[in-house]
Amino acid sequence: MKLTEEQKKRIEEEYAEFEAEQYAGKTKEERQKLGQFYTPALLTIQMLEKFDSITKEDTILDPTCGAGGLLAAAIIAGADPKKVFGVELDANIVPIAKKRLAKLGVPDYNIHQGNALNRDCFVFPESEFEELHKGETYKFTDEGEIGKVDFIKKDGTKSITFGLRR
Ligand SMILES: C[S@@+](CC[C@H](N)C(=O)[O-])C[C@H]1O[C@@H](n2cnc3c(N)ncnc32)[C@H](O)[C@@H]1O
């Protein structure tokens, strides 16, 4: 899909708004353990443009959502905020993602603290996800490589997922 210039500008501006607080004041050294290096706007735009489309029908799950940058950009690209979900291990980062995504209309309970390696964390009040391809491994982002992992909602709706760290 091709993002419009307006969408790209909004993604860059949204990223810039949260850039300073997105790591909750942690140092680079502190962030290394969990791979807390968040996708910059330009890379996010390139990733989104690799999808065929992102529409209001899609469900989006980022199982390691950090400060929520990818999810925010997916909404700007056309996703329904009510169908956007995120899990993040670091309890200090979760409130930042919640605040950021609330501005775009994502319900508070769609973002929560959890361990993406633990199946329980994919149960949300209104949606439940299960992994489609069990046993495959996907490398996540430190070097900018993002695996597309297919999850499926238990009601059968296909979802788009950004990546899973193992
Ligand atoms: C490279 S960042 C990606 C954040 C976001 N997807 C982005 O692109 O901006 C990886 C995030 O995954 C979180 N994380 C690491 N291991 C995790 C796990 N087992 N479950 C959930 N989150 C995890 C880290 O705390 C970090 O915020």
How much is the CA Rg of the chain, to the nearest whole Å? 15
pLDDT tens-digit series, residues 24-48: 999 999 998 888 889 899 989 988 8
Ligand 1 centre to CA of 53 (Å) is 24
Q: Is residue 118 situated within a structural domain? A: yes
Express the helix, strand and coil content of the chain in percent, nearest 5 each.
Answer: 35, 15, 50
Q: Using alpha carbons only, give the angle 122, 38, 113 rounded to the nearest 5 degrees.
A: 30
Q: Is 42 part of any domain? A: yes
164, part of any domain: no
Q: How far is the CA of 166 from the centre of ligand 1 (A)?
A: 10
Ligand 1 interacting residues, C-beta cut-off 6 A: 34-39, 62, 64-66, 69-70, 87-90, 93, 115-117, 140-141, 162, 165
Q: What is the dihedral of CA 135, 68, 2, 4, to 10 degrees?
A: 180
* Average pLDDT for the chain: 80
Q: Is residue 144 assigned to a domain?
A: no
Residue nearest to atom 27 of ligand 1 (CA): 66
Question: For 132-143, what is each residue's pLDDT tens digit?
Answer: 444 433 333 333
C-alpha separations of 108 from 58, 61, 82 in Å: 19, 14, 10
Distance between Cα 35 and ligand 1 center (Å) = 7
Q: How many domains does the structure of the chain reveal?
A: 1
Is 13 a domain residue? yes
Give the CATH number for residue 121. 3.40.50
Give the nearest ligand 1 atom to 37 CA: 1
**Can you tell me the mean pLDDT for 60-84?**
91
Q: Is residue 166 part of a domain?
A: no
Percentage with pLDDT > 70 across the chain: 77
pLDDT tens profile 109-125: 999 999 877 777 878 88
Whether 126 is covered by a domain: the verdict is: yes
What is the domain extent for residue 70? 5-132
Which residues partner with 113 through β-bridges? Answer: 88
Question: Does residue 72 belong to any structural domain of this protein?
Answer: yes
- Each residue's pLDDT tens digit, 140-165: 333 333 344 445 455 555 555 554 43
What atom in ligand 1 is closest to the CA of residue 163?
A: 6
